[in-house]
Each structure stands twice: as structure tokens, then as C-alpha cells.
Amino acid sequence: MSKKYEEIAEELRRRIDQGIYREGKMLPQQIALAEEFGVSRMTLKKAMDILAMEGLLFRKRGVGTFVHKSTLWNTANYKATEYRGLTVQLPDKKVESEIISFDIQFPTEKLQTLLMLDSNEAVYHIVRLRIVDKKPYILEDTYYVVDIVKNLTEEIIYESIYEYIRSNLELKVGGAYRKISADIPTELDIEHLEATDRTPILEVEQVVYLANGVPFEYSKSRSRYDMRSYTITDIIPN
């Protein structure tokens, strides 16, 4: 974190959290804040753009900058824009894993397309049940590119794969494409998610990219309808 606008965004986020800036009118305008942080106005605005896209701030030309009212969205149980893995999303909870299968294979044609692979570049295939506070939570069916997510072991899979990617491999996630849908339960769902054959399932299918644009993960995550939902904050900054 050496970029000025990220640091300023962080600081502003902190001030909103702490109630230094409250619902209603905000700081002494962009110019004053730019001066306070010792940056140009464009850099300050870029920091604000981040918070605006997160839905924390909104701005009215000719009026000023305001803190958005926090609603059910901020207390939501899961943000779609979050790649750091379940361990980070649920810091208060005990997150465990049960490994249902773990092997290495050559990619299918679909995987070759989605992950930009040749047919001889292997992928890990992992089926894993995430357990939160002793309750089955998510059934993940995941493929990782072996050349990128090197040397996966059962221990890593049992803990947090994303923590391994970030800390040990020092890779940075840059984004994802996701498809969210509802579905009828499969045999595997019924077996592992404490579902019946009529429990609706929420599925998230995704391709995750590194910051350099290279895809490294394809996965489908399934949960019982009453265990999880997804929120999206989708603001176009002015």
C-alpha cells in the first residue's frame, strides 16, 4: 500500500467508521481535504471515487459530499466483491473444511477456455465442504491452475487457500466474473449440506483473475437458500 489514493481512502473509511464524518454533510470540501493530506485534488477525488463505488459516500455537484445512510446492505452477510476467502469474511466464526476429494487432472475443453490453458497444463480439482460454527455452509467445487497455485497440499486446503495464495505465493487477486443462480439440490448437496430433495440451493459460479489479468480459479459454490445471500454495491461515480 504505497499509493496515496489508497491510503487516503483507507483514512476516510476509518473516519466514517469512527463517526468523525456522519450522515449529512461531510468534510470541508475536496480542496481542503486535498490540502490536509498534502495531495492534489485529482488524487483526493480518486480516493473518494473508491468510497463512492463501495457505496459509503455520494456526492452532489454544487452541493457537497455526504456519508450514505447505512442500511441492511452494510450489515449484509456476504459481499459479492470479496476475494479474501471465507476465513476473512467471517472473522468471528470458526471456519473449518472437510475435503471430499482432491486430485490433479488435465483440463476439459471448457476449463481450457475459461482458464486460458492448453490441454496439457494441469489443474487441481478440489471438492471441499466449508463448515462454519460446526454447521455445513458451502460446498465448493474448485479448479486451480497448477502452474500458478503451486504445491497445494491437503493441509493448505484444510485451512485457507486464499491465505496461502496471498501470503506464501504473494499473488494479488484482481477481480472475478461471477454468475449467481438458484438450483435444485443434487445428491451431493443433500448428502453434505443437510438439505432435502426440495431445499433450494444458491449457486455461485466464478472465474477469478490475478491482478495481472491471468485467470487461476474456476469454481462453483453451493449453499442452502437459508444460509447465505449475496449483496452487490453497484454505484457509478459521477
Partner DNA sequence: CAGTGGTCTAGACCACAGC
Partner DNA sequence: CTGTGGTCTAGACCACTGC
Among 88, 100, 116, 169, binds its own copies (CB under 8 A): 116
3-class DSSP state for residue 191?
helix
- What is the spatial distance between Cα 33 and Cα 41, in angstroms, rounded to a whole number? 8
Among 145, 201, 217, 221, binds its own copies (CB under 8 A): 201
Name which of 43 and 87 has its Cβ closer to its own copies. 43
Cβ neighbours of 56 (radius 10 Å) = 21
The residues, any chain, with a CB within 8 Å of residue 49's CB and separated by 6 or more, are: 237
Query: Nearest distance from residue 72's CB to its own copies, in Å?
Result: 8
Phi-psi region of 170 (alpha: psi -120 to 50; beta: other; left: phi over 0): left
Contact partner, 45, from DNA, its own copies, none, Cβ < 5-8 Å per class? DNA
- The site map against DNA for 40-59 (x = CB under 7 A) is xxxx-xx-x----------x
Name which of 137 and 209 has its Cβ closer to DNA. 209
181 exposure class (CB count in 10 Å sphere: 0-12, 13-18, 19+): exposed
Query: Nearest distance from residue 217's CB to DNA, in Å?
Result: 19
Residue pair 157/99 in contact (Cβ under 8 Å)? The answer is yes
Query: Nearest distance from residue 80's CB to its own copies, in Å?
Result: 6
Cβ neighbours of 124 (radius 10 Å) = 19
Binders of DNA among residues 20 to 39 (CB under 7 A) are: 26-31, 38-39
Contact partner, 124, from its own copies, DNA, none, Cβ < 5-8 Å per class? none
- The site map against DNA for 54-93 (x = CB under 7 A) is -----xxxxxxx----------------------------
If you count them, how many residues does the chain have? Answer: 238
Among 30, 81, 87, 89, binds its own copies (CB under 8 A): 81
Does 28 help bind its own copies (rule: CB under 8 A)?
no
Beta strands in 108-162 (DSSP E): 123-132, 135-145
- What is the spatial distance between Cα 112 and Cα 18, in angstroms, rounded to a whole number? 47
Contact partner, 40, from DNA, its own copies, none, Cβ < 5-8 Å per class? DNA
- Chain residues that interact with DNA, rule: CB under 7 A: 2-5, 26-31, 38-43, 45-46, 48, 59-65, 212, 237-238
